[in-house]
Amino acid sequence: MNGFINVLKPTGMTSHDVVQVIRRMVGQKKVGHTGTLDPMAAGVLPVGLGTATRITEYLDRDFKKYRCEMILGVRSETGDIWGSSLEKQEPPRFSEPEILEMEKLFRGEIRQVPPMYSAVRVAGRRLYEYARSGEDVAVKARKVTIRELKILRYDRDRILFDVDCSKGTYVRTICTEIGEKLGCGGAMSFLARTRSGAFSMEDSMTFEELQDYLDSGTPPEEWLLPVDFPIRDYPKAELETPEARVFINGGYIKLPQVKIGSEEENYYRVYRGDDFLAMATIDKHTKQLVPHKVFYRDLNGGTNL
């Protein structure tokens, strides 16, 4: 099977755990997830089957949405309440304008230092490996983009907010920074991813729902999202069958032979009719469409790689 399952990940499972469960359920080894979720987080976890596992590199520009609750007056090594607490205090009562000011501070392009208890690599090792061994290491701030942070509710020591952010943003760190800006500390107490690129929570599937589809013999095309589902914001290039045969075997195609819109994008989705063939680039010097990664080889029988 080739395509995506939009899994509604429960709390208490790693993203790798989810992949292992899906492998057993569908009886297929080639399965992988996009966009890791922490074990205590729930929500949208896209899982690719077959050729869909090869699409991940084109999802870097995807934005993600989260709903998060944080507790004020707590400072934790991990940035959440599941780590060891370094300090607890009774937070002061803040005014509504003081809380809403956080929306303005976390907007646009910001620099964020990844938490020490994270999988970011420095000098070949994960940050959590340094943290667990008590070693100090310099961690550089990274640019991330916050499209919107919306405070939904403030109740004494808890803040509930939604955030729409770029890949690589740590919501735990946002909680920590809000707490520090308010002067009392803060730590994440709940996190659910409500959207990951084209995948939304409204359209996600539990393990139980997937099992029902499998038990009933429902054809995969009725519950499996197509391989090109998460990349449909990329521009489309269309080829006729003769050019498509050349292209999927590594040949370059001159742009006059390609039905295409803008020539200014980095990548293009390439189709023959309804068949998604490949991702491609454009050679600006020779004005040719160049294969970047081919997903579909057999134009006669329709067999995916």
Same domain, 133 and 210: no
- Range(s) of the domain holding residue 265: 234-294
Same domain, 214 and 245: no
SS3 content of the chain, % helix, strand, coil (to 5): 25, 35, 35
Same domain, 72 and 53: no
The H or E element spanning position 105 is helix 96-105
Determine contact, residues 7/18, Cβ cutoff 8 Å: yes
- Over residues 165-192, the pLDDT tens digits come to 999 899 999 999 999 999 999 999 999 9
Cα–chain-centroid distance for residue 189? 21
Which residues have a catalytic role annotated? 38
Same domain, 179 and 244: no
Domain count, the chain: 3
Same domain, 57 and 203: yes
> Cα separations (Å) of 35 from 19, 45, 244, 267, 277?
12, 7, 32, 20, 24
Same domain, 78 and 161: yes
Same domain, 211 and 156: no
- What is the model's pLDDT at position 300? 61
Quick check: is 229 in a domain? no
Same domain, 282 and 251: yes
- Over residues 20-57, the pLDDT tens digits come to 999 999 999 999 999 889 889 999 999 999 999 999 99
Quick check: is 302 in a domain? no
Quick check: is 285 in a domain? yes
Same domain, 85 and 182: yes
Residue 58 in tokens: 């084109």
Quick check: is 301 in a domain? no
Same domain, 10 and 113: no
Same domain, 151 and 258: no
